[in-house]
Amino acid sequence: MSGVRTGRRRRVWIWVLVVLPLALLGAVGYVAFRADAELRHPEPNSGRPGSWMTTLTATEISEFTQVPIPAGAVDARWGYTKGFQDDTAVLAFRLPADDVDRFTAGLREATWKEAARPPDTGALRDLQRIGAPDPLSALTLRYGTFVSHLPGHTKRVASQVWLGPSAGDSPVQVWVYAMNVP
């Protein structure tokens, strides 16, 4: 009978010393994994770094980017990402070909250049997120960049404006990517 008791006691000690700590470690690991997942993928509109802000209006995005949306623009789309230090905004719309020169002249001191390359990968990801046409589909793009101060803030914003090719009377696609900079 004492052999049975010793075997049972041994199993209890194995359970207490090995299995229980492993189960506890697994539970702590799972909680840490879930907490890290919530930090990596915050809820939209939470205002936490990395959150995608869907409650902002086109006017607010236009003020952040310092790029006005002309009255004749159609299919306007916008988005805003709250960053840990830097916030980013994207804006896309189509503009009648006749309004392009007036639009570009109304922007700050933008320097315009021709380019065969699209915006950087961060801009592409955010433009895809708002459902804007893909700038990779354009063979050549015209782009301008400028830095401005946000009204009432000490932040400066670097804006990139990309224009798709103009083909007669068809509307020109405009993409805007802006990020606040130190």
**Residues 70-84: pLDDT tens digits?**
988 999 998 888 777
**Residues 70-129: pLDDT tens digits?**
988 999 998 888 777 788 899 999 999 888 888 888 887 667 788 766 666 677 888 888
pLDDT at residue 106 in the model? 84
The one-letter amino acid at 130: I
The 10 Å Cβ neighbour count of residue 181 is 11
Q: In 3-state terms, what secondary structure has residue 34?
A: helix
What's the whole-number mean pLDDT along residues 56-82? 88
110 class by beta-carbon count within 10 Å (0-12 exposed, 13-18 middle, 19+ buried): middle
Whether 51 contacts 82, CB under 8 Å: yes
Alpha carbon 54 to its chain centroid, in Å, reads 11
- Helix H or strand E encompassing 88: strand 88-95
Report yes or no on whether pTM surpasses 0.85: no
